[in-house]
Amino acid sequence: MEWVQQLVNGISLGSIYALIALGYTMVYGIIKLINFAHGDVFMIGAFIGFYAISGWGLGFFPALLLAMVVCAIFGVLIERIAYKRLRNATRIAALITAIGVSLLIEYSVIYFRGAQPEAYPDVLSKSTFNFLGAQISAQSIMILSVSLSLMIILQFIVHKTKIGKAMRAVSHDVEAARLMGINVDNTISATFAIGSALAGAAGVIFGVYYTKIDPLMGVIPGVKAFVAAVLGGIGIIPGAMAGGMVLGVVESIVSALGFSLWRDAAAFVILILILIFRPSGIFGKNTREKV
């Protein structure tokens, strides 16, 4: 029955990866940019949640909402200051800028608060219950519920709202969307805001789940979320969700088999296999791209 427990743990972890991966895939789907600063927005969200809970005494859900709002604003600032001027630049220029923004955020946080890790306070119930002979923690179920709820809300926004329709139009053809009267700049900013808000939520959830946070915590989860986005099909929202879940379950299985030191490597093995055998990802279609 340990396998049921590992499966639930894997899906809970995968839901965190999926929330971060959604930001990668949304931004790539619209402006074809791999935003490597996204993992650091996730880290900022974790710290906002930490200070909201430990310093201001807020509960889990108010801290989650605060982190999402702050990260949404932060994401828009990053886009307006660093990326907007590079819309017509080469891909490599935008990529190098994204890496530079990532390092700037990390070391700015270290400069202002130091590099020491923080222990997240307990805000969710530690109780467990028996399911098919496995002990499942209420915390895992809560994390999974919150993550799935946010993904459902995202799907509603993308498919049922005006800004969602504008995002899909810009993703399909920027120039045609502009000719149809869509404000492309505002649509791109909204995409960054939504993706960054989800990363902020993932940061708070990650902090509660793993209890330890530090200024460089966004590097590995950020890269793994990028792997999840590629696994599902970069630029495809359901693909990012599925890719995150698959990655989380694989990591949990690797740990359960006694290879916990190899769990980070498993993500990169998956990335290599996907790039060799199905470069377009699980949900992707093989299309030619002009470079």
Calpha distance 111→123 (Å, rounded) = 28
Contact in structure between 49 and 66 (CB atoms under 8 Å)? yes
pLDDT at residue number 107 = 95
Q: Rounded to an integer, what distance in angstroms lies between the CA atom of residue 289 and that of residue 287? A: 6
Whole-prediction pTM = 0.89
4 burial (CB, 10 Å; 0-12 / 13-18 / 19+) is: middle
Per-residue pLDDT tens for 9-64? Answer: 888 889 999 999 998 899 888 888 888 899 999 999 999 999 999 988 888 899 99
Biggest CA–CA distance in the chain, Å, is 60
Instruction: For residue 85, give the DSSP letter.
Output: G
Q: Tally the C-alpha atoms within 13 A of residue 203's C-alpha that lie toward its C-beta.
A: 40
Q: Please, are residues 205 and 256 in contact by the beta-carbon 8 Å criterion?
A: no
Predicted pLDDT of residue 289: 47
Contacts of 68 (CB under 8 A, 6+ apart): 45, 197, 198, 200, 201
Q: Please, which residues have CB within 8 angstroms of residue 43's CB and are 6 or more apart in sequence?
A: 105, 106, 109, 203, 213, 215, 216, 217, 218
Q: How far apart are CA 134 and CA 166, in angstroms?
A: 45
Contacts of 187 (CB under 8 A, 6+ apart): 30, 163, 166, 167, 170, 177
Q: How far is CA 219 from the centre of its chain?
A: 12
Q: Going residue by residue through the chain (291 aa), what tens digit of pLDDT does each one get?
A: 677 777 888 888 899 999 999 988 998 888 888 888 999 999 999 999 999 999 888 888 999 999 999 999 999 999 999 998 888 888 889 889 999 999 999 999 999 988 899 998 887 767 777 766 667 777 888 888 999 999 999 999 998 999 999 999 998 888 899 999 999 999 999 999 999 999 999 999 999 888 889 999 999 998 899 889 888 888 788 888 899 999 999 988 888 887 878 888 888 888 888 888 888 888 766 554 444
**Residue 103 Cα distances to 38, 91, 284, angstroms:** 11, 19, 31
Which residue ranges make up each domain of the chain? 2-216
* Structure tokens, 93: 């220029």
Provide the phi-psi class of 57: left if phi over 0, else alpha when psi is between -120 and 50, else beta.
left
